[in-house]
Amino acid sequence: MTETVDESTSRFAAATAVTSVGEGTYRATLDEAFTIMGKPNGGYLLAIAARAATAHLGALGVEHPHCLAAAASYVRASAVGEAEVVVEVRRVGRTVTHVAARILQDGEVAVESLLSCGRLPDGHEAHHDAIVAPTMPDPEGCERTTLVGSPPQPGRSILDSVDLRLDPATTGYVRGELADDAEVRGWLRMADGSAFDPLSLLLAADTLPPATFPIGSSGWVPTIQLSVYVRRVPVAGWLLARQRAQLISGGLVDETCELWDETGRVVAQAVQLAMVRFSD
């Protein structure tokens, strides 16, 4: 189990903080501690949009504190530094409120997102669950990873903020070995000891390396669109994660990611479309 810290003092909470500067407009600072190859991580950007959306709903008196589903299109690359988040409520419902949120830098839209907000129920059991968790070593038997092709940069990478341990069975690409399956698996937790919550699950769903690495993709795999479903509040501790590529065609790949907490229950699911290339 992970020893948790006060969420309000966590690095993630500080890095996703938003400040209201007008009706539906919020200021945020994109933090280098949640970047990949120097660019803010897509799940991190989605979490900032969700933070602004739920903060705005709270200010309006709408008691829907959790982002249940979020979809983002990454219109252009964002950069570390100041950003603006513009929130628009589309419809307030009894169970779900729909919100649009745009992240802008230098007056141009970088991320366009739609979010469905509500309240996650406590202690519910699944009526049906066909998602089978993978069998893999405990975190102590997995490899602490750094970004392939990028020298370690303490304090300047998402992997300095998230402790990611990959299943050695899916990391042969690090040793120049190619696999038949486009899949990566691992455990993750916040490096500062803070617990994952419904908001940081949006980050966790986009933290694993691309599932195309084991089959030989070259370079990074930039996300075009990312959708995340948050299914329940996770218990404190490690998350088990699996990411798989389904179809690679025409320079594009779709990946699915599933997350389980230490009780063995699914806490989030994600799917994304990304660009990919191979050396041949």
DSSP string, 74-135: E-S---SEEEEEEEEEEEE-SS-EEEEEEEEETTEEEEEEEEEEE-PPSSPPPS----PPPP
Q: What is the pTM of this model?
A: 0.93
Token digits of residue 243: 């990411």
Q: How far apart are CA 141 and CA 158, in angstroms?
A: 22
Q: Which fold is adopted by the domain 7-120+133-275?
A: Porin (2.40.160)
Residue 55, pLDDT > 80, answer yes
pLDDT at 156: 65
- Of 37-41, 43-47, 72-76, 268-272, give the lowest mean pLDDT range: 37-41
Token look-up 């959790």 returns 66
Domain ranges of the chain: 7-120+133-275
What's the pLDDT tens digit per position in 137-189?
Answer: 999 999 888 654 344 545 468 988 999 999 999 999 988 899 999 999 999 99
- pLDDT range class, residue 8, cuts 50, 70, 90: low
Between 220 and 93, the more confident residue is 93
DSSP string, 74-86: E-S---SEEEEEE
Token look-up 């600072």 returns 29
- pLDDT range class, residue 3, cuts 50, 70, 90: very low
